[in-house]
């Protein structure tokens, strides 16, 4: 895989599923009036990393990425509460359309949700 991007950082997650297909979850910063916020972009390659196609995600804080192939995948998200000491909560989402649409599977796990799936219906989760 060719992973060449000027903003690669430790928060970037790479999930290769075959020698040609891979997924990349990468923060994308943008400026909103009077504050800086972060959106996240999900990238897919189908040619071993020569060309990456972006898909904007609908959540503010996606956390963990786990794809089984070019269509089926899971993302856990978390909600931050910056003005409180409340523990973040996590949700789990599923796609069978290559990230174009998502279905919520669970809601409000305590902490950040870590995931690993071995089939579309069998997987493991844990939260901190």
pLDDT above 60 for 115: yes
How far apart CA 110 and CA 101 sit, in angstroms, is 25
- The yes-or-no verdict on residue 37 having pLDDT over 60 is no
Report domain extents, the chain. Answer: 13-127
Give the separation between CA 67 and CA 120, rounded to whole angstroms: 9
> How far does CA 109 lie from the centroid of its chain?
17
Q: Is the pTM of this model over 0.85?
A: no
Location of structure tokens 């895989």 = 1
- Average pLDDT on 83-100 reads 77
**What per-residue confidence (pLDDT) applies to 97?**
93
Greater model confidence, 8 or 67? 67
């Amino acid at each position: 895989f060719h992973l060449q991007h000027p903003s690669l950082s430790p928060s970037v997650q790479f999930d290769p599923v075959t020698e040609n297909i891979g997924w990349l979850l990468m923060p994308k910063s943008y400026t909103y009036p009077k504050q800086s916020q972060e959106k996240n972009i999900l990238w897919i390659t189908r040619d071993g990393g020569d060309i990456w196609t972006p898909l904007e995600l609908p959540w503010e804080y996606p956390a963990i990425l786990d794809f089984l192939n070019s269509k089926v995948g899971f993302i856990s998200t978390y909600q931050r509460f910056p003005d409180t000491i409340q523990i973040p909560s996590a949700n789990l989402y599923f796609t069978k359309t290559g990230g174009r649409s998502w279905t919520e599977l669970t809601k409000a796990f305590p902490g950040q949700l870590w995931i690993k799936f071995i089939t579309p219906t069998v997987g493991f989760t844990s939260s901190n």
